[in-house]
Structure 1
């Protein structure tokens, strides 16, 4: 027999079953034809059913002819020895893998951690998809940039995942990271079209554009998500559905806007036109604009206008304009409710666009001094209930406000008001230096009611509660000399005091911060003032007392008033006294109430009214309520 048949013969004789199957295959031959037996081999490594391809080339003498026979033999079962050998090989491989896993290098550890994180992210995404699978509204394919994405729309969010080709890869493929956009951050939806120059309407449909806000700390920035799809029917279906979902959010549709053109640097009109009006137009918000001409103009308009037509009021100006509109809103609510004595919470929220010199209220509510952030809070319908104070004298209401200063704060403001012709920064420096040069304490009786609770969030049944405690509550009274007394129901953040003038209070904790600075030397008082602009604690001095209060009464002992000394200085300087917002008969003491000069001759009673006013802004958690102003 030919030499080439020896390996095949040895293989056939080694296993009788294989030889028997080969004989059966040979018996099937007819004539000179040599049949070919083809069977699809199973997977390699499947030790239960191993397909061995036996390529046998046998020159046989059959009818004096040499026949080349190719036999495909399938071994049904492995021998026990082969199984044992396979199991031993598998065990050795597993041991090697375990050893490698037990002593991984630094890179492999990082890869393992990354893999575990990816698996966790995938599981979380699957859980989120399962939670929102029941509320899926639309699903489609759009292009974001140059890649196609699977876009999923629910009633609360929009998610998109890149579509990747299903091709095998050598390494572990990184799962595509889905993008998420909450619908509460979307303020406008538009159909994107391609138009030629001069074309005002129509055009080829390109997709849907979602206008939303992006958060960077406390600052809100404008952002746009472009979903490209050339199908007009598909695009309009998504556009109409998104518009319908956005109507579920409480957003303003018609606003009453007051602009103070004479505020800081006289830039209010420019700020509104450049930063605020385009956002209102994009969000389909209609506006009724009033440009104030004098102090008290906004108050007179608010008393006469029909507030039922509006969804909110917007103030473009400084702290004085904000205080005037807050005062007007509360008075109008009292008038509508026929409650002349008890404060009533206004129905309409107030949006504040900062355009003043310090913008204390805007910085305290928004955390930043940015008109775009303030405008986005308005169009998105963010609301924050804030405590307010009422200031009264001899039973008569003077005004509503957020903060007040008596002593140094009132005297410096009175001097600054006499120099209105100066630039704001120079006028402020002049007033501070002049008041420090003539620093003198006020002899007064200070009484206060400690706050019953220090919690930052009061229950709803106390929101509109009057804080008249009754006869069982006793006042704490101190008599002495004070350089400055401050009462603040908000933190009073500003660029000059990044941590706030009252960092220990919050916007809606139902109490105010009483800061009483006793008589001390000029140098110590200056150290106290300097600490407001730094990270140091301004209340660590022995002459500074702080209390959380619900009511304060200040009764000056000397009714001669602050004006006698000022009249002498006015005669020397040859200038006329400024006209305060509220005048009192006889001698009066200057008060700084929300940055506005108010002169009151008699004692002043300050009461805190929890959550009396609603401002446009986001509510903060207790951990975030003490913030730092990142004003520009």
Structure 2
């Protein structure tokens, strides 16, 4: 009797298995159908974008070419007549993407002194060519004597180029005439203004006259009349303008406590001595590259830091150095009459000769959703729009001791002197900052650490160097009694003697290349994607600079 009873159960199990298989196969077929539909949709979109908008014949140089224009690119192929022997050469075709074209003009033949009119010769396309990290201007001349044919192509190209909505048409420009070698005005006039004019960009120029001039103009300026702001100057000018744009956004949003994202993107034309921020978004210190990034509307969101003391905002910025970085800048500022390279080397050598640690309390909040060690892995998938203000959820890590240098950087801080950056593997918008704390050590070991910044890697492979990805940092200097900074130094490396700090004295900070004197505890907090810059993420800066002083 047992066998007949087991038979229905077996049939039931087999029936259930068949149903499950049918269900799984149905699910797979559905997923396959959806995948095929997605591929078909993408192919349709591509076919629409690659659909020929215009087809014509132009001369490039002395040869006639068959030219095709789609919504994404322009291609040309030489027209080669048939050879009586039946042999044909290989045509040398070419193409340029519309996203790289920033201007189109009608070419005309004009007599000397003639400013308008003249017979039509064709169209000229001004486009951007990449050469490594540099962007270079190039021109494509399409010759055709037909006025109707030429204007049809000109109008169509102009219409297609208006589809790139990120490209500015009206810019507010600030020029710092005192920056670096006082050549900012010439850099703008010779390299940048012609490109803006070619791209039909209107500009409203302000030449700054004093510190704080930018902030006063931005506060009163009608920002809705512009598509972006441009700074021609060094890192100090850039930081001042970024600070002004964020404060203006707070003012407009009626949010005096919480930082608000700046409404306009900022373009940086490098005209300083190091141009760290420009190198971090361009990879090179080249005004033409920077101008072409602006003209083509390449946008990159960037994290910023707020620096405050005793509850009062000091400034917004990208990087800060306390200890060695602050003291070397303070010495350099006293020698402004020197050339910038000599001034920098003098300050570096002098500060190394009188190297002393700072006794301070260092506290930090580790960035959420990222590794505690910044230089292990970059987490690009984290929620970058979330402002890490979680003091109640996360505990502060606090250490007290002697530090030669403490750096906080929300961007990689690339420069010709540190092509990998002062904070390698830090992205522009990962929602955290790099904390690099260099503990007390011998002068020779500290110099080894500094020298490795100019090479590829290894600057953090020291037991006295501590690195973290952080969302906030507090630095509280302690009042100590010890040897004076100006006291003559004994032979050998002084490892344990900190600076004297009389009551009421201030501590030098290097914030984006500007000297800031602060007497009390400083709180640095990271604000993700607080500003948008014209440029793009780069891994390494172009460099041919080396410092021979260490």
Q: Same fold (TM over 0.5)?
A: yes
Q: What SS class does the counterpart of residue 181 from structure 2 fall into?
A: helix
Give me the whole-angstrom Cα distance separating, in 2, the residues matched to 1:169 and 1:457.
60
1:209 maps to what in 2? Answer: 124
1:150 maps to what in 2? Answer: 66
Q: Does 1:350 align with 2:266?
A: yes
Give me the whole-angstrom Cα distance separating, in 2, the residues matched to 1:497 and 1:185.
30
Q: Does 1:270 align with 2:186?
A: yes
Give me the whole-angstrom Cα distance separating, in 1, the residues matched to 2:456 and 2:530.
31
596, 600, 625: which is aligned to 2:518? 600
Give me the whole-angstrom Cα distance separating, in 1, the residues matched to 2:331 and 2:181.
20
1:430 maps to what in 2? Answer: 346
1:614 maps to what in 2? Answer: 532
234, 253, 263: which is aligned to 2:169? 253
Give me the whole-angstrom Cα distance separating, in 2, the residues matched to 1:453 and 1:180.
43
2:542 maps to what in 1? Answer: 629
Q: What SS class does the counterpart of residue 264 from structure 1 fall into?
A: coil
Give me the whole-angstrom Cα distance separating, in 2, the residues matched to 1:165 and 1:133.
31
Contact 2:359–2:480 (Cα < 8 Å) also in 1: no
Q: What SS class does the counterpart of residue 336 from structure 2 fall into?
A: coil
Distance apart, 1:135 and its partner CA: 3.0
Contact 1:559–1:602 (Cα < 8 Å) also in 2: no
95, 104, 111: which is aligned to 1:196? 111
1:401 maps to what in 2? Answer: 317
Which deviates more from structure 2 when the two are superposed, residues 468-477 or residues 302-311? 468-477
Q: What SS class does the counterpart of residue 160 from structure 1 fall into?
A: strand
Q: What SS class does the counterpart of residue 379 from structure 1 fall into?
A: helix
* Structure label with greater radius of gyration: 1
Give me the whole-angstrom Cα distance separating, in 1, the residues matched to 2:115 and 2:387.
57
Q: Does 1:305 align with 2:221?
A: yes
233, 236, 252: which is aligned to 1:320? 236
Q: Does 1:373 align with 2:292?
A: no
Give me the whole-angstrom Cα distance separating, in 2, the residues matched to 1:129 and 1:602.
59
Q: What SS class does the counterpart of residue 308 from structure 1 fall into?
A: helix
Q: What SS class does the counterpart of residue 280 from structure 1 fall into?
A: helix
2:301 maps to what in 1? Answer: 385
Distance apart, 1:626 and its partner CA: 2.5
Summarize the Cα distance change of 1:468–1:434 in structure 2 as closer, same or farther, 3 Å threshold: same
**Map 1:127-206 → 2, pairs under 5 A:** 131=47, 135-167=51-83, 175-206=90-121
2:472 maps to what in 1? Answer: 551
Q: What SS class does the counterpart of residue 265 from structure 1 fall into?
A: coil
2:394 maps to what in 1? Answer: 473
Summarize the Cα distance change of 1:133–1:336 in structure 2 as closer, same or farther, 3 Å threshold: closer
Q: What SS class does the counterpart of residue 497 from structure 1 fall into?
A: coil
Distance apart, 1:474 and its partner CA: 1.1
Q: What SS class does the counterpart of residue 507 from structure 1 fall into?
A: coil
Give me the whole-angstrom Cα distance separating, in 2, the residues matched to 1:130 and 1:292.
48
2:460 maps to what in 1? Answer: 539
Please report the TM-score for the alignment, with normalisation by the length of structure 2.
0.83
Give me the whole-angstrom Cα distance separating, in 1, the residues matched to 2:296 and 2:205.
20
Distance apart, 1:559 and its partner CA: 7.1
Give me the whole-angstrom Cα distance separating, in 2, the residues matched to 1:378 and 1:200.
29
Summarize the Cα distance change of 1:513–1:198 in structure 2 as closer, same or farther, 3 Å threshold: same
Summarize the Cα distance change of 1:530–1:158 in structure 2 as closer, same or farther, 3 Å threshold: same
Contact 1:559–1:601 (Cα < 8 Å) also in 2: no
Give me the whole-angstrom Cα distance separating, in 1, the residues matched to 2:310 and 2:438.
25
Q: Does 1:519 align with 2:440?
A: yes
**Map 1:503-514 → 2, pairs under 5 A:** 503-514=424-435
Give me the whole-angstrom Cα distance separating, in 2, the residues matched to 1:133 and 1:222.
26
Which deviates more from structure 2 when the two are superposed, residues 404-413 or residues 162-171? 162-171
Give me the whole-angstrom Cα distance separating, in 2, the residues matched to 1:630 and 1:199.
45
Q: What SS class does the counterpart of residue 361 from structure 1 fall into?
A: helix
Summarize the Cα distance change of 1:149–1:518 in structure 2 as closer, same or farther, 3 Å threshold: same
1:236 maps to what in 2? Answer: 151
Summarize the Cα distance change of 1:290–1:199 in structure 2 as closer, same or farther, 3 Å threshold: same
Which deviates more from structure 2 when the two are superposed, residues 449-458 or residues 197-206? 449-458
Distance apart, 1:249 and its partner CA: 0.9
275, 289, 297: which is aligned to 1:359? 275
210, 224, 229: which is aligned to 2:139? 224
Give me the whole-angstrom Cα distance separating, in 2, the residues matched to 1:236 and 1:442.
69
Give me the whole-angstrom Cα distance separating, in 1, the residues matched to 2:216 and 2:164.
32
1:78 maps to what in 2? Answer: none
Please report the TM-score for the alignment, with normalisation by the length of structure 1.
0.73
Give me the whole-angstrom Cα distance separating, in 2, the residues matched to 1:128 and 1:206.
37
Summarize the Cα distance change of 1:324–1:130 in structure 2 as closer, same or farther, 3 Å threshold: closer
Contact 1:494–1:631 (Cα < 8 Å) also in 2: no
Distance apart, 1:309 and its partner CA: 0.8
Give me the CA root mean square deviation: 2.3
Contact 2:49–2:72 (Cα < 8 Å) also in 1: no
Give me the whole-angstrom Cα distance separating, in 2, the residues matched to 1:340 and 1:397.
11
Distance apart, 1:472 and its partner CA: 2.4
Q: What SS class does the counterpart of residue 263 from structure 2 fall into?
A: coil
Greater relative contact order (Cα < 8 A, sep 6+): 2
Give me the whole-angstrom Cα distance separating, in 1, the residues matched to 2:48 and 2:304.
41
Give me the whole-angstrom Cα distance separating, in 1, the residues matched to 2:441 and 2:154.
67
572, 583, 589: which is aligned to 2:507? 589
2:29 maps to what in 1? Answer: none
Give me the whole-angstrom Cα distance separating, in 2, the residues matched to 1:600 and 1:130.
58
